[in-house]
Amino acid sequence: MNGVAPLGASRKGGEGCVLHLLSPGKMKAESIEALIDENGVFAQQESPPAAMSRNGYFFEESGYLKCDMDDGCETKEETGGEELFDAVNNTVVSGDSIRFFVNVNLEVPLNAADENESAGCVLLHTSRKYLKLKNFEEEVRAHRDLDGFLARASIILDETATSLDDVLREMLKHFAEDPENMEPSCNFEKIMSTLFTDSGTPREGNGTHDVSDSTGANIQTCTSHLKFHLLSDTIQGVTATVTGVQYQQSWLCIICTIKSLQRRHVCISRLERPQNWGENSCEVRFVILVLAPPKMKSTKTATEVGRTFATMFSDITFRQKLLETKTEEEFKEALVHQRHLLTVVNQRPSISDGHKSHGSKPLKLHEFLNVGKGISDDIARRFPVYALDFTDGIIGNNKAIGKYITTMIFLYFACLLPSIAFGSLNDENTGGVIDVQKTIVGQCIGGLLYALFSGQPLVVLLTTAPLALYINVIRGICDDYNLDFSAFYAWIGLWNSFFLVMYSLFNFSLLMKLFKRSTEEIIALFISITFVLDAFKGIIKVFKKYYYSGRTGDSYLEKAPTDAIPSLGINTTFLMNSSVSRSMSLENQTGTHDVHYGRETAVLSLMLMLGTLWLGHTLYQFKKSPYLHARVREILSDCALPISVLTFSAVGSYIFKEIEMSKFNYNPSESLFVLAPVQSLSIGSVMSAMGLGFLLSMLFFIEQNIVASLTNAPENRLVKGTAYHWDLLLVALINTGLSVFGLPWIHAAFPHSPMHVRALAYVEERVESGHIYETIVSVKETRLTSLVANFLVGLSLLLLPFPLQWIPKPVLYGLFLYIALTSIDGNQLFERVALLLKEQTAYPPTHYIRRVPQRKIHYFTGLQVLQLLILCGFGMSPLPYMKMIFPLIMIGMIPIRYNLLPRIIEAKYLDAMDAEH
């Protein structure tokens, strides 16, 4: 008997191990019918006693179990204890449930699990949940936990105590005597009481005997009086086999959280002889005690430290080596060697890493010379499921008609309102050549064609702020060189389409593999910032026009009646009546209706913008509230955008109709479809248009592919495949027609496309270490929502100028803020910036928090913010020509990510922060 019996789980099997905490079962003192013989040992009665749970482990009251000295001593089922056993067995000791957890959550291949069913070890924690074994190759905290222990190791070799209470007291005494581990305000008696949870109710009786039970807990027992206590928090290894569940019985990890502690402490005790501390702990040889303060970073808690050491002790070969050590130094060397084995030998690729590694294969030249292969592959991938894009959610069991309707309404407003906003901006910039009407027509035609023929119909096409900027620059060039705007615009669009066709034919979308997640999120956050700046620029214009300068540019106070200012001391009566006095003065002079304008217009505009943002975001988050029915909450959340826009449009146009509001320009076009005179330009002008067309194609290429990549992100769980090359070709063809008819260009829009996916997704909330996460379960991939929404956008031409012109511009600015705020959800860069403002205890247990040192995380975040500032400097520069080259800055982020950042931060940490969840 060597104390560590064969487990039947090899090192390979140990890799499939998880941690599970067993919470103490509910026990009744009355149900224990035991007698103590004269030697102080439990004696079995005539009737078989019921199974009980002590320290979270089942044991028989008939004395010590007959254990064959195997770590996997199986649990016996007694008829008398069947009900109690089943209650716990359903949640903890199910071999099938453990094998399922190993195969699914630990991503072990199914055939491998079948071949080693006896090796499917898991770790059990008292909270009745499975915990994954710590990945020493990826989780940096595993190494730091061991380093911290080795620096001030608390190791007890050959402990002679036999009861669990005595062993724990010796371990705590070892803490107290160690000057490096001393805690000045720590009460070790209180710690000892915290390690256990009292159970049982004493009853009156005589002849009680104090004995030590098999768990080391103090038990008072007689025929009428019983009291015992249980361990509060433990971790133990469990192996799922064909015949049932087996426990690793030679070690036990005890964890405890103590408020008075200043830092974490770990003590390992090797017992001189195996001790029987109850069923499933028949021959304990190693005890690991972990103490930690309560307020710790999520990766530094007592449970996480316990996971580290439990992972190491789950290997039977390692435990055998520890038994052979003679000194503390040899013990430490064995720990270091085991860490090396877990880091280097036990490596297994995960599904997400496999996806990333496949996407990061080096590109080869022949992949670009295979003309049209990407397009043909996209069509072959998507065409077989084309019909399902129209029938999913409509026909069959899983109908989603209600979700489709709410998504159509959301998408209609999400497409129409930016079209109005940017159409109004283009109208001002081009002198009416491209106006609101043409923008709506272009959106309708382009959106319908893309919804019908695209490979990824969840992507939303829109005219965007960068495109409005390009149009403004083109107008300035035409004015400087006396060029026909319509012809020059058309040639730039044709050259842009030509380059996009070349990109798609030569499979240039493969280059998007070089754009890591971090680069995509920089660009996504840049687009969100542009929405915020557009909104604030608009509201600042309103304040300059109405609050500071008055309607005509003169001072507001100069136009007010002189009798309204009796002195230099402006009193409250003047502040309340100034606008009324001014309105009456205007009415007397012109005989018109009473209309207020000035400061009240500016203040109301600000209220409308912030109100639209507040109501939209509140309704968007309403699905997380406990109010109303779940389906009602979901509908309100999906319709947050239209509800907020309609509500505050009514407030601005009806409730405060006497106050003049800023509205978008509307100049009806005589003809919407007029061919541009492309033949009127000289060859030199056409060649200059080629240069601008190339820069524009860079913008299209990056925006289209990055938005499509964010839409097809693995966390969205889309199943019908991608079509990057075909979609790029389709966008080129659509913009060819838009260019020759003088309609505004469109491409994939962020954040509308991910928001479209979110609106069609079924989402559930999950909790990990006290942090709530939203996870997409499935998405209805359909073309119907885009088709109907863009068709309704086309019908909106009938609503011009009224009632669409009743939507005040500040409401559109509030829409921009709402889009920017909701697009930040899930942006890892924004989350890591927020970490700088949080205390460590509030850090979420995300994959990069576990795998990357905190300092490296902040370095990486700072470098990303620097790239973002450079991108904003070019993209938002007051110099129009600098704005046109900012797509090249986006391309320049690729060598920064691959060549510069690895010189500052290790590649493995960069890959971890760029990995999916």
Between 564 and 697, name the one with better pLDDT: 697
The model's confidence at residue 124, banded by pLDDT at 50, 70 and 90, is low
Question: CA–CA separation, 633 vs 621, rounded Å?
Answer: 9
DSSP state of 26: P
Task: Give the number of other Cβ atoms within 10 Å of residue 792's Cβ.
Answer: 17
Q: Is the pLDDT of residue 34 over 80?
A: no
pLDDT for the residue 223? 38
Question: CA–CA separation, 745 vs 699, rounded Å?
Answer: 12
Question: CA–CA separation, 343 vs 337, rounded Å?
Answer: 10
8 Å CB contact between 651 and 611: yes
Q: Is the pLDDT of residue 18 over 60?
A: no
- What angle do the packed helices 373-382 and 485-505 form, to 10 degrees? 80
Between 495 and 249, name the one with better pLDDT: 495
Q: Is the pLDDT of residue 313 over 60?
A: yes
Percent of the chain with pLDDT over 90: 22
pLDDT digits (tens, 9 = 90+) for 579-591: 434 433 434 443 3
488: tokens are 């020059």
915: tokens are 């990995």
> Which string of DSSP letters, residue by residue, matches 120-157?
EEEEEETTS-EEEPP-TTT-HHHHHHHHHHHHT--EEE
Tokens 């319908």 belong to which residue?
448
Among the residue ranges 60-64, 69-73, 151-155, 418-422, the one predicted with the least confidence is 60-64
Dihedral of CA atoms 449, 452, 453, 454 in degrees, nearest 10, equals 90
Q: Is the pLDDT of residue 462 over 90?
A: yes
Task: Check residue 488 and give left, alpha or beta (phi > 0: left; psi -120 to 50: alpha).
Answer: alpha
pLDDT for the residue 771? 65
Averaged over 308-321, what is the pLDDT? 87
Q: Is the pLDDT of residue 916 over 70?
A: no
Among the residue ranges 47-61, 402-416, 594-608, the one predicted with the least confidence is 47-61
Q: Exposed, middle or buried: residue 472 (CB in 10 Å: 0-12, 13-18, 19+)?
A: middle
Between 107 and 906, name the one with better pLDDT: 906
List the one residue out of 272, 237, 263, 253 whose CA is nearest residue 156: 272
Task: Give the number of other Cβ atoms within 10 Å of residue 348's Cβ.
Answer: 15
Between 896 and 345, name the one with better pLDDT: 896
231: tokens are 């361990």
pLDDT digits (tens, 9 = 90+) for 839-872: 776 777 777 777 788 888 888 899 989 999 988 8
pLDDT for the residue 568? 37
Averaged over 671-675, what is the pLDDT? 83
The model's confidence at residue 199, banded by pLDDT at 50, 70 and 90, is very low
Question: CA–CA separation, 633 vs 626, rounded Å?
Answer: 9
The model's confidence at residue 125, banded by pLDDT at 50, 70 and 90, is low
DSSP state of 679: G
pLDDT for the residue 737? 94
Among the residue ranges 469-483, 584-598, 644-658, 870-884, the one predicted with the least confidence is 584-598
Among the residue ranges 172-181, 664-673, 765-774, 860-869, the one predicted with the least confidence is 765-774
pLDDT digits (tens, 9 = 90+) for 8-17: 333 333 434 4
CB within 8 Å of 120: residues ≥ 6 apart: 9, 13, 16, 98, 99, 102, 113, 239, 240, 241
pLDDT for the residue 182? 64
Q: Is the pLDDT of residue 220 over 70?
A: no
Question: CA–CA separation, 60 vs 73, rounded Å?
Answer: 13
Among the residue ranges 123-132, 160-169, 614-623, the one predicted with the least confidence is 123-132
> Which string of DSSP letters, residue by residue, matches 400-442?
-HHHHHHHHHHHHHHHHHHHHHHHHHHHHHHTTSS-HHHHHHH
Between 913 and 555, name the one with better pLDDT: 913
pLDDT for the residue 857? 86
pLDDT digits (tens, 9 = 90+) for 480-537: 889 999 999 999 999 999 999 999 999 998 888 888 888 888 888 888 888 898 899 8
pLDDT digits (tens, 9 = 90+) for 345-366: 555 444 333 333 334 567 777 7
Question: CA–CA separation, 284 vs 913, rounded Å?
Answer: 41
8 Å CB contact between 394 and 433: no
CB within 8 Å of 632: residues ≥ 6 apart: none
pLDDT for the residue 354? 35
Among the residue ranges 217-221, 353-357, 790-794, 812-816, the one predicted with the least confidence is 353-357
- The reported pTM is 0.68
Between 531 and 663, name the one with better pLDDT: 531
pLDDT for the residue 595? 56
Percent of the chain with pLDDT over 70: 73
CA atoms within 13 A on the CB side of 122: 31
Averaged over 362-388, what is the pLDDT? 88
Question: CA–CA separation, 908 vs 508, rounded Å?
Answer: 28
8 Å CB contact between 56 and 253: no
Name the average pLDDT for the chain. Answer: 75
Tokens 């639209």 belong to which residue?
612
